[in-house]
Amino acid sequence: MRKRVLSGMRPTGKLHLGNYVGALDNWVRMQDEYQCFFVIVDWHALTTDYADTSRVKENSLEVALDWLAAGLDPEKSVLFIQSHVPAHAELHLLLSMITPLGWLERVPTYKEQQQNIKDKDLGTYGFLGYPVLQAADILIYKADVVPVGEDQVAHIELTREIARRFNGFYARKDIGGYAGPSVTEEELQRRHYVFPEPQSLLTRAPKLPGTDGRKMSKSYGNTILLTDSEPAVRRKLKTMVTDPARVRRSDPGNPDVCPVGDLHKIFSREGTMAKVNEGCRSASIGCIECKSWAADGLVQLLSPMQERRKKFEENPRLAWDILEAGTERARKAASATMEDVRAAMGMSLAYEAPANNGK
């Protein structure tokens, strides 16, 4: 049996190169090795933007198009929308019962975001519970591995703690049992537990600068989108910041401190990289030329994605159908876990005679 992977993304609209190198690229490669579930977490989007829901659905479809374009393959992986599998909410509720408030208040992203994000109301119950909902997303598929960026590691650690706490309270006594001589004591132990503790798999994300040299991020308005056309990519590159020491064409520069140099390191071939290193440091190439090479690398990456995207763009219904089929598969897996959960808690839906025999 292949190990199970789950990861998710909030539907924030069109994805950019940062989303690709920070997550998607990795997910695409994991598909052959793992049984993968990839979820568009639209409920998570509501934790910070609950009042205006007008774009949520549209943004979810947008993300799905980018996923398919980037090479997530519905034949290999389960692609679906969180809110379409309501069991996530049921498990979230049960996990919320056993999660101490202090654990949530201590999650680093909680305080950080409250300090940094001033234009949103983060004073809700839902926002505090964000990581519990995330834990439910992961545990409901009994995921073994969760590929995430650095910022999410604390959430996965919390997920493990919640799983451990749940298993401690509600270890199942009705399964496992005698399993033959070949089964180890450890394995027997494990079978009594409803939830495996998931491992986070840190995506090695190279530093990806946006056009202004800061980290590429939607909120900075410095992104290159996966859907940007070749002319758009070239235009954005033209105005991208460079090594500030290279004021004149005759000044030597340093690709190691230049955001365009960073793009080359990620997206250009070795030969190009060598030309950049040599030419920049000796001032034998100009930044305009250097940027056009960087653009070539990006276009080479993006054009097959945009090619793949065409058929879904012309007929978005196809992408929606893929999400619906994925949802169906996700629901099955989720409801199997929920049966385990209810049984472990002694709250299964099956009739059981009262212990006092009705008297």
CB of 311 to ligand TRP, least distance (A): 28
Return the number of the residue (248 or 359) whose C-beta is nearest ligand SF4.
248
User: Which of ligand TRP, ligand SF4, none is residue 6 near (CB under 5 to 8 Å by kind)?
Assistant: ligand TRP
CB of 208 to ligand TRP, least distance (A): 16
Quote the CA–CA distance of 276 and 269 in Å, as a whole number: 11
Other C-beta atoms lying within 10 Å of the C-beta of residue 187: 11
CB of 252 to ligand SF4, least distance (A): 9
H-run or E-run covering 6: strand 4-9
CB of 318 to ligand TRP, least distance (A): 25
> Which residues ranging from 86 to 145 are in contact with ligand SF4 (CB under 6 A)?
none
Task: Enter the tokens of residue 170.
Answer: 């509600």
Task: Enter the tokens of residue 251.
Answer: 């000044």
Q: Is 236 in the site for ligand SF4 (CB under 6 A)?
A: no
Piece in contact with ligand SF4 (CB under 6 A), picked from 113-121, 159-167, 202-210, 250-258: 250-258
Return the number of the residue (72 or 260) whose C-beta is nearest ligand SF4.
260
Q: How far is CA 15 from the centre of its chain?
A: 12
Scan for tokens 């997303």, then name that residue.
Answer: 137
Other C-beta atoms lying within 10 Å of the C-beta of residue 170: 22
CB of 298 to ligand TRP, least distance (A): 24
CB 59 within 8 A of CB 45: yes
Q: Using the rule CB under 6 A, which residue among 18, 196, 198, 255 binds ligand SF4?
A: 255
CB of 296 to ligand SF4, least distance (A): 13
Q: Using the rule CB under 6 A, which residue among 211, 242, 268, 327 binds ligand SF4?
A: 242
**For residues 162, 167, 170 and 174, what is the CA-based torsion angle, rounded to 10 degrees?**
150
Quote the CA–CA distance of 337 and 342 in Å, as a whole number: 9
> Which residues ranging from 264 to 303 are in contact with ligand SF4 (CB under 6 A)?
276, 280, 285, 287, 290-291
**CA dist 245 → 252, 255, 256, 282 (Å):** 8, 11, 12, 13
Q: Is 261 in the site for ligand SF4 (CB under 6 A)?
A: yes
Q: Which of 91, 63, 72 is nearest to 34 (CA)?
A: 72
Which residues would be at the binding site for ligand TRP (CB under 6 A)? 6-8, 10, 41, 44, 134, 137-138, 146, 148, 152, 155
Quote the CA–CA distance of 28 and 36 in Å, as a whole number: 10
37 has which bridge partners?
6, 78
User: Which of ligand SF4, ligand TRP, none is residue 263 near (CB under 5 to 8 Å by kind)?
Assistant: none
Scan for tokens 């909410």, then name that residue.
Answer: 89
CB of 274 to ligand SF4, least distance (A): 12
User: Which of ligand TRP, ligand SF4, none is residue 253 near (CB under 5 to 8 Å by kind)?
Assistant: ligand SF4
Binding site for ligand SF4 (CB under 6 A): 242-243, 246, 253, 255, 258, 260-261, 276, 280, 285, 287, 290-291
